Structure 1
């Protein structure tokens, strides 16, 4: 259950990150200054931790292919964040949470193309993974787009919630940017899986990932000519949002995600994005004064059904692979026994 708990915690951090980033960007920070500070702080945290957890005795050797992999996941992650935060600034955290549920579908397709997921349309395992992915995405979209009658009201009244949930007039442009973000995020998850297969040291990989983010965001900010005021950490809520983003949004969340990618594969990680919309609904009810509606209840149930379907398919797939591997290992032994029992012809 460690991977499940880790991904739920990572998705909770991701949902809160969207809310925090919306507040900071709305207060005047540019997308690039936000990314620069967040990933610079994450890099400072991950550098000593990666050296502690991956000491020289168990640190895999670096080579040219691995370094190229670092650059690729850093670039893909940077593009995903730029499009994502731009989309949030044009729209809302709610729309961002909804459209990021395209990630499981995109990741599933890419994983099949890259042969990370086996597919056989006549197989019950493949059908479970495919149908579960579609159902989870549909349930997540339902939570956001269908409200229905109110089931539970909250005594809290929050002006912050209205600012975050309300969709501005240019939400269509924001939606386009967020859809591109989902595409790059899926590519980044697949690239992480390739890199971690060659270099299974999660913290070093994520340190390189955040460090490349920092360099790219700093250079881009200079090129586009961001005003110096966008780099100011005043008022205090900017500083607090950067601290949260660097510690939990980048260092913690991305490291846990990479760890789960290595242990369970890219589709397992991607399937937790629809769970994020359920988490955001409960956060809204408990902390932001949002109501709980019938659409949220029905959509959450649908997400859970789809999520369970995919996880069931993945579990069955692991068993099939284990049985096949055991049979392959036993085959030479049985052949040797048969040869010993068979009398030799003279």
Structure 2
């Protein structure tokens, strides 16, 4: 009984672990950026370290069968390449550019848009059931609009300060001051980054037919590192920008590569395979909560009422969308059960069973 309970809690523990890792990673990365480390170079190091960490892990955990599991068809490789381009390269570059221009709390708050943007993309390509006369469809649409309203509040309304002293480079809201353009640019980068991550989730639907979670994580990190290296070298040709000068920068790169990419990619892929994407999306607010609390404590980031209202609106809209998704899943399960039911009727008439002899004596 105890073993069964522990088995049921494994996806929950995996998601809590993953979002805790991502929150700590963002704080370490922000600390490294404040010391002058390039956010673009950080992405290259992160994906490269993740690849180097996953290679021996795949060999030791799976042996030769794991290496053989890396083989994919041409169509599967093209899908993985596109997924790495959007989810590993574009998403990561824009994510850390937004983190460098804004702060960790802004990044975590806007990450709650992933379920809503995924719903819009899935509906546009026919992967999501949309019926305009259905209450569930309107719940998902209204939840998406609430999330958009939360973004507008988070971006353009500051309000009174709740926590920590004023610091123009660590503001959680914006005002018409010298850093306003940095904040708006950060929001723009993070919105595109969120769209790239949603596109990755859409592409992973057919990819899961070709590759298991662990080889899939290795493919994504490997291709992403090969894609980001020439792009970042073109944007950062100065070799001094590629140097790791402090212990904080070193720890940030190692933690982001080993845990932020390698471990988190695997945990997310595994959890989706056993519980589905809706279950994983439900933990996005946990990521926001952990990041905001840790950022206020360690980096002394300001917390303004506008940021709090915007974050609550985003999380509220998220759960409206998730409720709609849960109702969709419930209806699909009920439909499958109804379709699989077999009606068995038993005739109780005694003359058909006991009233008539099974054998008739023809000699009588």
**TM value normalised by structure 2:** 0.75
Determine which structure has more spread, i.e. the larger CA radius of gyration: 2
Other-structure match for 2:81 = 71
Deviation of the 1:59 alpha carbon = 4.5
Q: Could you tell me whether the CA contact under 8 Å between 2:118 and 2:201 is conserved in 1?
A: yes
**SS of the counterpart of 2:128?**
coil
Other-structure match for 1:183 = 195
Deviation of the 1:316 alpha carbon = 2.7
Other-structure match for 1:192 = 204
Other-structure match for 2:14 = 6
1:40 aligns with 2:52: no
Counterparts of 1:202-241 in structure 2, within 5 Å, are 202-224=213-235, 226-241=237-252
2-side partners of 1:20 and 1:30: how far apart?
13
Other-structure match for 2:58 = 50
Q: Could you tell me whether the CA contact under 8 Å between 2:112 and 2:314 is conserved in 1?
A: no
Q: Could you tell me whether the CA contact under 8 Å between 1:54 and 1:201 is conserved in 2?
A: no
> How many residues are paired up?
332
Deviation of the 1:229 alpha carbon = 1.7
Closer/same/farther in 2, CA of residues 318 and 208 from structure 1, 3 Å limit:
same
Other-structure match for 2:359 = none
Most deviating of 319-328 and 259-268: 259-268
Deviations 1:228-281 (A, max 9, x none): 222222211110111121122211223222333444544554554455333322
**TM value normalised by structure 1:** 0.78
Q: Gaps (5+ residues) in structure 1?
A: none
**SS of the counterpart of 1:120?**
coil
Q: Gaps (5+ residues) in structure 2?
A: 1-8, 353-364
Closer/same/farther in 2, CA of residues 293 and 78 from structure 1, 3 Å limit:
closer
Closer/same/farther in 2, CA of residues 329 and 61 from structure 1, 3 Å limit:
farther
1-side partners of 2:61 and 2:120: how far apart?
34
2-side partners of 1:127 and 1:243: how far apart?
44
Closer/same/farther in 2, CA of residues 181 and 289 from structure 1, 3 Å limit:
closer
Other-structure match for 1:80 = 91
Closer/same/farther in 2, CA of residues 119 and 2 from structure 1, 3 Å limit:
farther
Q: Could you tell me whether the CA contact under 8 Å between 1:32 and 1:218 is conserved in 2?
A: no
2:143 paired residue among 132, 138, 154: 132
Deviation of the 1:286 alpha carbon = 4.2
